[in-house]
Structure 1
Amino acid sequence: MVDANTPWFVPRGVPVARMADQIYRRLRTAILSGEIPARTRLVELEVAARLQVSRTPVREAISRLVSDLLVTPMTYGGVEVVDTAEEQGDIFVIREALEGTAARLAAERITDAELQALDQVLEDSKALPLDALAERAELNDRFHTLILKAARSQRLIQMVEGFREFFIDEVKLMRYTQRDTQTALKHHQEIVEALRAHDAKRAERLARNHLEHSKARLQKPGKRRRP
């Protein structure tokens, strides 16, 4: 019997496409949280049997995980979970360059309306309770997306979107302490101030430093945060 409290649980009676998406999200969450460790072999038939579903949605879900570089095909069948800590270290280096550039361009091109939107995100973030991880992750994503759009570079947007699966989400925020959360908010406030001053060099430096801090925190081994 599949336990509904595990990331393997998938509701019955939903369309195949929707079921594939749910399986994908649950497997992705389990991989990124470490519940499915690196080097674990996932076999389509075994996963389908454990989930008590057909192989079709599992095949689609695993295909998406391959595209996300979270698993890699094995020569003798199935896929293997990659070392996401090592992979995300490389991803953060690339994101530092891309989002640093986005912040620099945004400082030169941002509008008053976009600054007001960023201010609102900051206010909403400060008002959230510490355990509202999903909401905090959503606001964090909105903050970075607003800056990216303010850069007015479609090519840059497309490049950053390629790494969206590795952005901070509620799974990663479980590793954040109260101090980490306060530090991240302080970084966001400083970045907005640099954008408001149209200080391109400072905005780029702060954006890079912010991502460097996030990388260092997430690469530390840790347990789930306490309430």
Structure 2
Amino acid sequence: MPAPRPRPGSLRDPEISELFLKEDPEKIFGDLQEIGHGSFGAVFSARDLRSQELVAIKKMSYRGRASNEKWQDIVREVKVLQRIRHRNAVGFRGCYLRDNTAWLAMEFCVGSALDLLQGQQEPLREEQIGAIIEGALQGLSYLHGLGVIHRDIKASNILLGSPGQVKLGDFGSAAVATPAKSLVGTPYWMAPEVILAMDEGRYDGRADVWSLGITCIELGDD
């Protein structure tokens, strides 16, 4: 008889337990203000009360329907974030658990390439697009060297730090091994091999390069 699956949020497995910090996040972070939301949950700006650093907090609940799947997604994202240390990827500050909700603390970025695109009345200049794409390519080269596929490259997931730093963000869809074979990502940006993967085989980091090409079109669209 197979062993029962651990309940979502269980830290009995030492390998899982070491992914999460044990402090109460409500005692560590203050001045939370929501700055975005999606199907995963919500993102807040916050102040680390210990260092006074401004950070971003991604809150993801693992209660209710599909709680096991939500928990596995959180564990996978934390595992990816813990491995990443690069100037062109958003910095990870740790993950905390409280009331069936994961608090992913990350480096704060002032916005995304999509925000920049929408905030200008005129199309982005070629040199602006080139700088964004160059930074994204540097980040992807690093990820692919680790065997990680981002799988959701688009303008809203290319973040802009200060001053003018380009950083890949949102690793909730990332695959930690290549080749991958599941249908994951945002449809308009998906490479053909990702769409066909369930029927015809597997794909690797080149799928991210396709998505970045679509992002070039997105950024250049006037």
Both structures adopt the same fold (TM-score exceeding 0.5): no
Structure with greater Cα Rg: 1
- TM-score under structure 2 normalisation? 0.32
Query: Which structure would you say has the larger RCO, counting Cα contacts within 8 Å and 6 or more residues apart?
Result: 1
Q: Whose helix fraction is larger, Structure 1's or Structure 2's?
A: 1
